[in-house]
Amino acid sequence: MTLCIACSVWGSGSLCGPCRAQMAHVPPMTEAGFRIYSAFRHEGTARRLVHLLKYQAITAAADLLAAEMVDRLPPSTAALIPVPRAWIRRARHGVDPAVELAVRLGDRVDVPVVRALRARLWWPAHAGSDRAARRSPGFFRVTSAPTGAVLVDDVATTGLTLRTAGEVIGVSRAITATRALGSTFDRISAQEQTATAE
């Protein structure tokens, strides 16, 4: 018997049945030529797991999320590039979620993790903000991105952070653990989703 990471109820695995049942998959989305693959909608259990990883440094949550991201990796992924957290937040919370996810995902699929980006010391928090309220985060290129590289992050909301990071190193694909409801990508019609799904 083990405790469910999400709700702390005793069960037979890291997630109990009811918590696992709350996790809803989402199709990939494209906006302005940038493609985002996500494992789950950012709600319920999936949101709780991201929160545990991001703000409480419970890396067991990264194990569960990375396992679900494997089947959603874009075709011909040759390298994983984590989108780094601002230095002050990483120090405050003791974890860089994108790095934790990238390392675990890379181990599962035998793909190297390349630290091609460096974050600024700080930028305003984006959690809960819409597109108009967000300011573009700053990244610096540390090294060139290998051919076939894919960005890795914990959450996609408007896609601003991912697109900004991608522009710095010339990468146009990303994979995230979750995608927030009401994001730009959720406004694409069902017909377009079907047409662009790979």
Q: Tell me, what's the pLDDT at 31? A: 82
Q: How far apart are the C-alpha atoms of 51 and 58, rounded to whole Å?
A: 9
- Residue 68 is part of a domain; what is its CATH number? 3.40.50
* Contacting residues for 86 by C-beta, under 8 A, at least 6 apart: 119, 120, 121, 122, 123, 137
Q: Tell me, what's the pLDDT at 182? A: 62
Judge whether 13 lies within some domain: no
Is the Cβ–Cβ distance between 172 and 196 less than 8 Å?
A: no
Reported as a pLDDT band with limits 50, 70 and 90, residue 32 is confident
Is the Cβ–Cβ distance between 80 and 112 less than 8 Å?
A: yes
Q: Tell me, what's the pLDDT at 124? A: 57
Domain with 33, as residue range(s), is 23-196
Residue 156 has pLDDT above 90, yes or no: yes
Domain count, the chain: 1
More confident residue, 53 or 119: 53
Judge whether 93 lies within some domain: yes
Judge whether 129 lies within some domain: yes
Judge whether 79 lies within some domain: yes
Residue 148 has pLDDT above 90, yes or no: yes
Judge whether 116 lies within some domain: yes
Judge whether 154 lies within some domain: yes
- Express as a percent the part of the chain with pLDDT over 90: 67
Judge whether 16 lies within some domain: no
Q: Tell me, what's the pLDDT at 12? A: 72
Judge whether 136 lies within some domain: yes
Residues 65-118: tens digit of each pLDDT:
999 999 999 989 999 999 999 888 888 999 999 999 999 999 999 999 999 999
